[in-house]
A and B are shown apart, each in its own frame.
Chain A
């Protein structure tokens, strides 16, 4: 267990409503990531953070925003949820930039989101 929690673990919401997912780490890792997992697609990066208030887009960032106001928390927000955002969302952390073990990412338990 890499000291990563995600909340909520399950959520059902309606189209058009805002949703915020939270990732919390106790490892003091610099990098945090949000992925979505869909059948046949593996894990796709939504956004990531390389420090407090430092974030960047991944390959599927449209419709999502993130915030990181402190090292341990990384929030993912769906401003107006759509059915295409029904997915399982995973948070991950890594120690930092560079080579070797710094690149290893450790995952949280996931949040299953259903948008009706």
Chain B
């Protein structure tokens, strides 16, 4: 099936540092979504991107829809302890189906 390659698999950073993660695929997507999952909870939508080249921010988070429509990145500026969790990218194919990356585990040193 379709696959999204999400990297890095995990990150361990100092509080206050900026974080960057990305997703790539061989397929073209119409929409890119970024989710965060806290332990024991369901994923929560952070940012949605609908057009190639689009750059969208949500507080300290910024995400971009790659111009080729095959990739996307998420940046977190000035990380804080509550940023810990798993971040997932998801790409929309035909209809309403999403394909998810395997996730990036973010750990922050306080």
Q: Give the interface of A toward B (CB within 8 A).
A: 4, 31, 40-45, 48, 50, 58-59, 90, 92, 94, 96-97, 99-110
Contacts and interface: CB of A to CB of B under 8 A. Distances in A.
16 contacts: A4-B42, A42-B88, A43-B100, A44-B100, A50-B95, A90-B43, A94-B96, A96-B96, A99-B31, A100-B50, A103-B33, A103-B48, A103-B96, A104-B33, A105-B96, A107-B42
A108 to B, nearest CB: 5
Given A94-B96, A103-B92, A103-B96, A108 B42 contact: yes
B30 interface: yes
Interface string B74-110: 0000000000000010101001111011110000000
Contacts of B59: none
B96 A42 contact: no
Contact of A58 (B33, B97, B102): B97
Interface size class of B (residues with CB under 8 A): 20 to 34
Nearest to A4: B42
A100 B92 CA distance: 10
A106 B45 contact: yes
Contacts of A90: 42-43
A109 B101 contact: no
A45 B102 contact: no
A60 B41 CA distance: 22
B92 A43 contact: no
Given A58-B97, A100-B50, A102-B96, 8 more contacts: A42-B4, A42-B102, A43-B88, A92-B42, A97-B96, A103-B98, A107-B43, A110-B42
